[in-house]
Structure formats: C-alpha cells, structure tokens
Structure 1
Amino acid sequence: MCPFKGGNSKLRPAMMLAGTSFEHIKALIDRGIRSDYSFPKGQAYLMNTSDKARNSRATSFTQAAEELGELFPLQILAADYISERKDVLFYFTGLKKVPMLETLYFLPGALADHLTSAGGMLTDSPQMSSLRWLEAGATASYGTVVEPCSFSQKFPSPIVTMFQYALGASALEAYWKSVAWPGQGLFIGEPLAKPFAPHIEEVSPKQFMLKFFSPRTGHLRIERSFSAAGPFSPFMQQKTISRGENQFHFKFNEKTDGYLNIQWH
C-alpha cells in the first residue's frame, strides 16, 4: 500500500533490512516470518522519561491508553527504561541511549524506537543507533539521520503505529503511516512482518476459519458470486465483530460455491 498517491513523484515507502552481519539480517527476516498471523499477546511500553528534550511524545500517551488499552496490555511508565521483561511487543521512549536492552525479550513482530536526534545514523552515531533495537530482538525501528529538533511529527506516533498494526498492516505500512514528516528519518527492519494480518485456513474439508484482529467493534459481511467480477450477494448472515481478536467458521466448497468477498467495518 503506497501512501503517496497521485502526481508524478513516483515515491514508494521503503524499509532497510539493516544489520551488521549476514547472520543478524537473516535472524531479522526469520523473526518477521515467524510473526505473520501470530496475533502476539505482548505488552506495549510507553516511557515517560526524565529527558525533557526527547520526551515530546509523552503528551499523546494518555490518548493511546484510552483508545488502545483494550486491544493491547499497555503500560505508561514514568521511568527511563525497562528491564527483565519477556513480553515486549511495543516499546516507545525518548532517550539518547536506552540501557538494559539485552535483558528484554521482544516478541516476533515487535516495534521499538527511541526519540533522539541521530538514531538513524546506523554505524557512526554519537547517540544510540537504531540498530541496537534490532540486535536486541525487535523486528522494526526508526531513527532520524540529521538534527530533527524535538518535533514529534518527525517520529513515529505510538497511537497511529499500534492502531495500524492492529488493522493488519505490515511493519512498513504501520511505521510509515505513523510519521507525519518522514523526510529526515530511516525506517529499518523486516518490512513485511504482519502479526495481526487477517488469515483464512481450511481446518477440515470444506470447513474454513477466518481469523482477524480489529481495533473497533463492527460487522463482518461475507458475500458470494459465481463470477470473480460479481455481482456478489450475501453468503451468510452478517456477524458482529468485537475489538481485538475475532474468529469465524464457515462452510465453503471451492469447486462449487464460486468466489467470496469478505469485508468487515
């Protein structure tokens, strides 16, 4: 999905497969693959740090908790860092250098970053490089490469990142959509990681399960047509969806029932 539509810019979102060795990059890709459709049960850690110059995102944390607290276990901590946690799915902070990363376990698909001036300078930064997040086990991160000043628009918005991830977006999509002014930044990680993407599997002959994650309540509609071009008509009764993980089972014969159009909103 491209956020740059129209015009002749021909710009496309990109994310660098970054690492200091082939082994590090392969491990990163493997984490991304393991995360797909996994619906991880991790925690979101939003750090209200003592570094006032780098803590500008903290003003949005209360809204994030109100909007997303029912989707992800979310902790707003008045601290500079966390340690000895084994359930990290999101970690957003503002520091020049984040200590104790080696004591954490990041779930496959985890997103983590620190708001500071030069995190995107991967190999020669006077501050902590964003590579340290990937080396610690995160699947994607972000950092700026030149002085951005403390404009929160130049860094990922935690509420947007988590909301887009919950919609089923990939790491690339979720991170790109969360940075209003990305011109000075660098996105790194496994771009196709999609832990909350919808998934259909055949659980037994002609019996299917649809599994998806939704940040909102709404309705599921499944329509059928005997032509791929339509028209489509209702295939089953409309279902109510809840916030968070949803599972629906339905019967479908791929040889005789035609094509399905599945929507939820």
Structure 2
Amino acid sequence: MFETGMKKIRLMLCVTAGLFFLSTARAQMPHECLLLVNRKSQDSLKVANTYLAQRRIPQRNVIYLDLPENLYGGKATVTPEQFKWLIWEPANAAIRERGLENQILAWIYSCDFPIRVETDPSDRKQMSVGGLTFMRNKLPGLSLVEEGKFLSKLFAGPNERIKLNLNAMSLAMQKKGLGPEAKVPPEAAWLQRGLGDRMPLPSMMLGYTGENGNTVQEVLNALARGAASDHRGMRSGIYFVQSDDVRSKCREWQFYPAVNELQQRGIKATVTTNFPAGEKNVMGILMGAETVDAASVGSFANGAMAEHLTSWSAEFQKRQSKCTDWIAAGATASAGAVVEPYSNPNKFPSARFYVHYAAGCTMLESFYQSIACPLQTLLVGDPLAKPYAPAFGLRILGTDTVKNDFTYVAAVESKIQGAQFEYTFFVDGKIVQEQSDQNSFYLRVLNLSDGYHELRVTASIRHMVEYNMTVDKPIMVNRTGRSIRIQPEISRLAKHEHGIKVQPGGAEKPEKVRLVCGEVVLDEKVYADDVELVLDERVLGEGPNRIRAVGIYADGMNVSSAPLSLGITFAKD
C-alpha cells in the first residue's frame, strides 16, 4: 500500500509487518534500453525502425550487429562462443565507446536473432539467448538451469525459496537499493543495499519471425498495440484458466492470491475452468495446456499478455502450441521455453505478473519480477508497454533558436495528487543534467556546434515504480553563422539508391559533408557546390527513418541539418 504526498513513500511487504522507506531511483525509461538490430536482415531493420519511431529510444542507444542467416534461421541456435563474438562483445564495445555503461538497464533484441544457446549437449540444460544475456555472458550451474533452481535476483516472489510477496519495483530501484535507512525484513535484506554490480541484464525480443514463427506484420501489429496501450489499461478481462492438466495444476495455487491483489487495485480477474473463447477485450490469459486455440478469443485489449506454460512453446520445430500463436491472435506479448522445461512453474511467469503490470511497471519489468528462473525463456512483444502507468502532461518552455546561453524549463501538468517530480535533461541523446528535482536547464552554447540539436527532458514521479513521460524540443544553434540543410529535390540513382544534395549557409563552406542516420554514416564526400550524397535504402531498411546532413568544417565543427523524416517501402520486383 502506498501513501503519496510525503517526502518519502511507505509501502508494506504483503506478508510482513515491516515497513521500509523509499529513496529516489530511476525507473526503466527509453534511454535506459539498448536496441540491438541485425543489419544482415531487412526484417530486423524494419521492425527496429518502427519501434524506434514508436518508443523514441535515442538513436545513440541503437547498435547494429552482423549475424548470418544460419544463426537465426532453422533452430536459431548459437554456441556460447558465437554469442560472445557476435553479440556480447561488439554490443558492449559500442556501449563503452558511447559512454552508456551506467545508463543501460535492459537490452531489446529486434527480430532475426538466435533464440537459443547450446550450453550443453543435453537439450534440457541449454539456455535462451535472453537467459545468457540476463547472466551477462556468465554460465551458471547448468543443473540449476535444468531444474529451475537458479533464483533470479529480480524475482519478487513467492515461491519455495522466497515466501514474500515483494512490491512492484523499477529495475533501477533493484540496482540502487532502498538505502541504509530502509526498514526491511531479513528475508529481503538485499533490497536495502541494492544489487549494484551484481545487477543482471534483462532483455526481450520484439518478435520471433523465424521458422514457424510470426510474420513481420504480426510483430508490427503487436508493437502498435503496445504503444496504443500506454495509460489505458483495462479494469477487467484477466483470466486464470484451470484444468486437470499438470501444466495448469503446477501454477494454480498462485491464481486466487493474484485475484485478491488485483482486486485491491480495482481490477477484476477471473479464475475459471472455461477458456475465454469469444470474450472481447481480454487483457490477460494465464493457463497450462499442450494446445490452445488462441484465435478463438473474441479480441485482445491493447497491452494484453497471454501465456500457456507448455513444453517447447518457443522451440519451433516441436509440436504443441507456440507462444507466437498469442501474438498472431492479438496479444501484445507472450513467453515460452526454448527447450523442454518440464511443468516447472519457476520457469514461467507467475500470476503476479499482472500485479506488477497493474502497479504501472512495463511489460519487461513485470516479466522479470514474476519469473523465478528466466534462463530458458523467450520473451516476445513490446517490452515498454505500460497500460497501467498514470499519464501527465509535459512541455519544454524556451526558444527554438539559440545564439546565447539560455535556460529551458520543464513544465508538468498533472492531476496526480501529491506527486513529486524529478527531471533528467538530454542534449542529442546524452544526459547533460542528471535526475533531480531541478526543472530547469542552463544551456551553454559554447558547448554546442552550430546547427540542429535536440533537447529532451524526462519527468518522473518519485515512487517505487517511477512513472515517467518524455518530450523532445528541436533547437537551432547559431553562434558562428554556419548552417546546412538538405535540399528538397532527391534524385533516383538506382533501384535502392538516391542522390541527396545539401546547401550550406553562411560565408564559410564545409570541407566535407556527411549523410547520417543516428550513429550510422551513410555517405561522406569532399564538399563541392554540386556534391551529391548517396542514400542506400537497404542500409536503412524499410519503415520510418530520419536522416541528417552534417557539414564538417576546417576547425572541426560538425554542423547538422534538421532531420528529414522519410518512410521507406521497397518497390516490389
């Protein structure tokens, strides 16, 4: 139970009388996610481009990797060495190069990545790619993986080892901890100091489009549903389906306690022996069955999560219904095991998934607080969907064109009683003012080149689950008179190639001009009045994109144009 309107927020662990006090921490926000894209796959590019536009993840948080089709096709399996060389090491090298080490809390994989790591000749001891990511590329005891006895540090109970029902928390709260002043029962002592360097790395995959998986369009539909669900969670439509199947019985003890927790939040959930065929606006289904007819559901609400605890629901060469069936039927996310998991509830989302979700956590945060042993699990869908997070208005007040230093102000419009806001400021995706209660930022123009820049502010509420909103403001800096723009006429050079011309402003001309998309350099040439930069659609991929021209001057200043937004659709042969 939360009490707002206080400098510190109290909450009670559900099965203890102990109280502890809340210190400030950051929650999972777009800038705390890393998006991994396989540039060898046009489907991966298309899905990532769409997600970037929907979720406004900074482009400097996007990393492009090169994985050949034999590693994401078929069984989509890699060795630990391949995972290390092709995914883990290059991704972390880019993180270090961009100074994101302390910022990233979760990885998001686009489609066309491997889903399984062959960590052992025994199929039952193998791990998912998400599991090895979670372990930060360090193999645990594989017998613990097989038996589901590895205990996630993010799991919020209860199971046979954690008897507590821990309150919903942000990922950053788990990392930072509640502070030494927190009064915490002995069973949850780690909450006081936080996980720090022992923090695991949760991840999700936007979609599985490999063999027997979803179509790209089904994945895009699910991501659209996730974005549309924010702040619009249904107050009913969650079903816990019971049956005599062992897959159901192993988890049904969780159902009624979750119903009671959800009822305290004003959300109706139903325990039933009838599959909700024909029901409309279904927000969630948790059940256990070898096969399900997901398409028989009348309709899913935006943001819905459905899962059916069965063997091989994410091993796509085996029989039984797949987790992707739910995505095709209209759910926003699902989960499945990439190997034979047995009917082990520790390897699947518990019924408390919906409790964390209803508390305002994102899809990803809700999954990881509800899965005790996530090391063989594939999570698919929109990781940032947050149907139950409260919304508020946010604006940046200030000028669009800057010649001298200027102070920008973040203005919140909120009807949330007692809310205390904190603000993080960014320039061009980089944090320039860490999270604090200061709602203004003094921009020093000497620190910036002429041309286009983006000022971003994220406002968040002090809370165990830190509710947040983000807004961007484009600004043009003009302290030396330099500028550059993309000319509107674009020429066709070849089937997928286009010519882009630029026009510098001011007395000086750049030495070179460059065409970029985020951190990706598309072309660079020595400047001349008739120079033409080449845009290759295949490098960007289909979907929404933004490109900029950059003039590079003799003194090293890089002057950016305003971005040109374009949607790319490949012409059919």
Quickly name the TM-score band, shorter chain normalised: 0.7 to 0.9
CA RMSD of aligned residues (A): 3.3
Structure 2: give runs of 5+ residues left out of the alignment: 1-27, 29-104, 106-153, 155-174, 176-194, 396-410, 424-432, 442-458, 465-573
Alpha-carbon distance in structure 1 between the residues aligned to 2:412 and 2:421: 16
1:153 paired with 2:351, answer: no
CA separation of 1:10/1:48 partners in 2, compared to 1, >3 Å: closer, same or farther? closer
TM-score by length of 1: 0.74
1:77 paired with 2:272, answer: yes
Alpha-carbon distance in structure 2 between the residues aligned to 1:200 and 1:162: 23
Alpha-carbon distance in structure 1 between the residues aligned to 2:345 and 2:422: 45
Q: Percent identity?
A: 28
Alpha-carbon distance in structure 2 between the residues aligned to 1:125 and 1:60: 28
1:261 Cα offset (Å): 7.4
Secondary structure in 2 aligned to 1:175?
helix
1:224 Cα offset (Å): 8.9
1:163 Cα offset (Å): 1.6
1:96 paired with 2:286, answer: no
Alpha-carbon distance in structure 2 between the residues aligned to 1:94 and 1:60: 13
1:155 Cα offset (Å): 0.7
Counterpart contact for 1:201–1:210, Cα < 8 Å? no
Counterpart contact for 1:14–1:172, Cα < 8 Å? yes
1:40 paired with 2:239, answer: no
Give deviations 1:116-146, integer Å, cap 9, x for gaps: 111112x323110100000010000001111
Alpha-carbon distance in structure 2 between the residues aligned to 1:231 and 1:126: 52
1:230 Cα offset (Å): 10
Name the counterpart of 2:468: none
TM-score by length of 2: 0.36
Aligned residue identity for 2:391: H
Counterpart contact for 1:45–1:75, Cα < 8 Å? yes
Counterpart contact for 1:144–1:186, Cα < 8 Å? yes
Aligned residue identity for 2:376: Q
1:152 Cα offset (Å): 0.8
CA separation of 1:14/1:224 partners in 2, compared to 1, >3 Å: closer, same or farther? closer
Name the counterpart of 1:200: 392
CA separation of 1:95/1:198 partners in 2, compared to 1, >3 Å: closer, same or farther? same
Say which of 462, 465, 468 aligns to 1:263. 462
Aligned residue identity for 2:207: L
Structure 1: give runs of 5+ residues left out of the alignment: 212-218, 234-252
Say which of 243, 246, 261 aligns to 1:49. 243
1:209 paired with 2:414, answer: yes
Give deviations 1:64-119, integer Å, cap 9, x for gaps: 1222224321110023x221100210100000011253342110000110011111
Counterpart contact for 1:232–1:261, Cα < 8 Å? no
Alpha-carbon distance in structure 1 between the residues aligned to 2:334 and 2:325: 9
Alpha-carbon distance in structure 1 between the residues aligned to 2:359 and 2:338: 29
Alpha-carbon distance in structure 2 between the residues aligned to 1:34 and 1:230: 27
Give deviations 1:140-192, integer Å, cap 9, x for gaps: 00011112122211110112x11211222111111122110011111111111
Report which structure shows greater RCO (CA 8 Å, sep ≥6). Answer: 1
Comparing 104-113 and 60-69, the one that deviates more? 60-69
Counterpart contact for 1:120–1:130, Cα < 8 Å? yes
Aligned residue identity for 2:268: P
CA separation of 1:101/1:50 partners in 2, compared to 1, >3 Å: closer, same or farther? farther
Which structure would you say has the larger Rg?
A: 2
Q: How does 1:1-265 map to 2 (within 5 A)?
A: 1=28, 2=105, 3=154, 5-7=195-197, 11-19=201-209, 20-71=214-265, 72-79=267-274, 81-99=275-293, 101-121=295-315, 123-159=316-352, 161-201=353-393, 208-210=413-415, 220-222=418-420, 262-264=461-463
Secondary structure in 1 aligned to 2:368?
helix
Counterpart contact for 1:117–1:149, Cα < 8 Å? yes
Counterpart contact for 2:262–2:358, Cα < 8 Å? no
Alpha-carbon distance in structure 2 between the residues aligned to 1:129 and 1:31: 20
